[in-house]
A = this chain, B = another copy of it.
Amino acid sequence: MSEVAEGRRARGGGGAARRAERTAVRIECAKFIERNIPNLEILNDEALEIIEANAETILEEVGVNFVENPEALKRWKDAGADVTGERVRIPKGLARQLCKTAPSSYVQHARNPERNVTVGGKGLVLAPVYGPPFVRDADGGRRYATLDDFQKFVKLGYMSKWLHHSGGTVCEPTDVPVNKRHLDMLLAHMTLSDKPYMGSVTEPVRAEDSVEMSKILFGSDFVDQNTVMTSLININSPMTFDGIMMGALEVYAKANQAAIISPFIVGGAMAPVTVAGTLTQVMAEVLAGVAYSQLIRQGAPVIFGAFVTSIDMNSGAPTFGTPEAAHITYGAGQLARRMGLPYRSAGSFCGSKLPDAQAAYETSNSLNMGLLAGVNFMLHSCGWLEGGLVSSFEKFVMDADQLGVLHHIAKGIDMSETGQAMDAIREVGPGGHYLGCAHTQANFKQAFWRTELLDYKPFETWDEEGARDTVALAKARVTKLLNDYQKPAIDPAIEEALNEYVAKKKASMPDAFM
């Protein structure tokens, strides 16, 4: 890869690269959120200690399964766990001790350094929806996702001011063979956006491809020394760590790349029907998973994850934006902070089939709780529909607009003299109005969050313009953003090397669709 790294180091020096950078439109992107507001601490210390103690009891008495992964079993045995078959029982204190080497925060680098994000502390990094096999738009309805859809979502993410991260599987490009689509997905994130991205986790070899392609993009040395990916490692709740996911985790941890260690909980099915019980299981699973990442490489960056939904006990369907999910999200945030780990949860979750009021209630419930629960990395922060089966174009831009609300709430309250506005109150006095006063004129432009989507027009104007609902407004915005899209500048040598890697890899294996 040395010639590629050369190419990268030469960026700004080469003529083609310079030309590309000069002609590129500058796309606005907010810095990741740094909270200046408190979190909601829903549990007291006593309750948290009970949950932590229960989690360690579960690990010691019941244990967890590491399946189809003899190496993992050996690592656990060597570390002092009691291993019987695939069952790993972890003595009290051991997992927590192992977790101590995981960093409390890390920087994920983007190829555009202005887009670097810090994951942890008081930060909140927003990434788009992940995983749906279907897409929906206002014109075409619901259909299987394609690579073309995938690329459009990456472009929309790049054009979305409040989105800090390009994400991973923004939808499944089902028209590309299963064993090759990760290559096209990575290529899209790397070339159509300059925001940070996620690696593939569906096979260890695909995680290796993710690392290799990142080395082309960033240079080998840079990737050896820095974190350039955050990838999603799901735990098969309850308490099962499968060989494929752990294989991907092993690849990433060895390469010092970040992983979200994330129980995948549908309360009532994969966890108890109670909140405290679910938190106990989440805590046990994360303790085991994070400890395992540190057995692979001490200091490997990891995130305390909690994907949480509950089940509708009538239909068996997962439900979103519910009070139980809020409780678990708040509680898990406290547990993550007590472990000193970055925290991933919440998102634009909804069960609705359409980007309608149900979708927005559920999403807004989830986004608000995510902000106040101290989430550091919010996957699925926009575009999620129908319980995660669908990536919605319209909902993507609708949610992305609401992410601006989170940014402004997180700023907290300005208590400066300008913020206190005593001169304005004195100037205006009883019965006056503030529209024209000096303080308003000086500050109104920055004063309030402003939507780029929602309608505030007078009824008559709105009615004359076609009485459009939010979906109609969003449809127009999707079209505008895709029309305005311009690819961010990239060193042509790097892009060529990436294309070549993808082509070679694709040619090296037969198509697989399962």
Contacts and interface: CB of A to CB of B under 8 A. Distances in A.
Contacts of A454: 351-352, 358, 361-362
Nearest to A271: B434
Contacts of A426: 58, 61-62
A281 B362 CA distance: 34
A401 to B, nearest CB: 9
A360 B351 contact: no
A176 interface: no
Contacts of A405: 321-323, 365
Contacts of A422: 54, 57-58, 277, 280
A483 interface: no
B317 A457 contact: yes
Nearest to A316: B435
A443 B274 contact: yes
Contacts of A420: 50-51, 54, 274, 276-277, 280
A353 B455 contact: yes
A6 interface: no
Interface string A315-346: 10101011110110001000000000000000
Nearest to A285: B430
Interface stretch (A122-130, A223-231, A300-308, A410-418): A410-418
Interface in A383-429: 386, 389, 395, 398, 402, 405-409, 411-415, 418-422, 424-426, 428-429
Interface in A437-461: 439-440, 443-445, 447-451, 454-459
A30 B431 CA distance: 42
Contacts of A38: 40-42
Contacts of A322: 405, 408, 448-449
Contact of A430 (B65, B324, B406, B463): B65
Contact of A356 (B271, B275, B415, B469): B469
Nearest to A437: B272
Given A274-B447, A312-B456, A327-B409, A352 B470 contact: yes
Contact of A272 (B280, B365, B425, B430): B425
A63 interface: yes
A1 interface: no
Nearest to A417: B276
Number of identical protomers: 2
A419 B327 contact: no
A238 B425 contact: yes
Nearest to A353: B462
Contacts of A63: 430
Interface string A362-379: 111100110010000000
Interface of A: 37-38, 40-43, 47, 50-51, 54, 57-58, 61-65, 87, 142, 236, 238-240, 267-281, 284, 310-315, 317, 319, 321-324, 326-327, 331, 351-365, 368-369, 372, 386, 389, 395, 398, 402, 405-409, 411-415, 418-422, 424-426, 428-435, 439-440, 443-445, 447-451, 454-459, 462-463, 467, 469-471, 473
19 contacts: A38-B42, A43-B415, A47-B413, A54-B420, A54-B422, A58-B426, A238-B433, A238-B434, A272-B425, A314-B450, A315-B456, A323-B406, A324-B448, A355-B357, A356-B360, A357-B360, A357-B470, A357-B471, A364-B365
Q: Please list the 10 inter-chain residue pairs (A to B) with the smallest Cβ-Cβ separation, ordered nearest first.
A: A277-B421, A323-B408, A364-B364, A360-B360, A272-B421, A357-B360, A239-B430, A273-B447, A357-B470, A65-B430
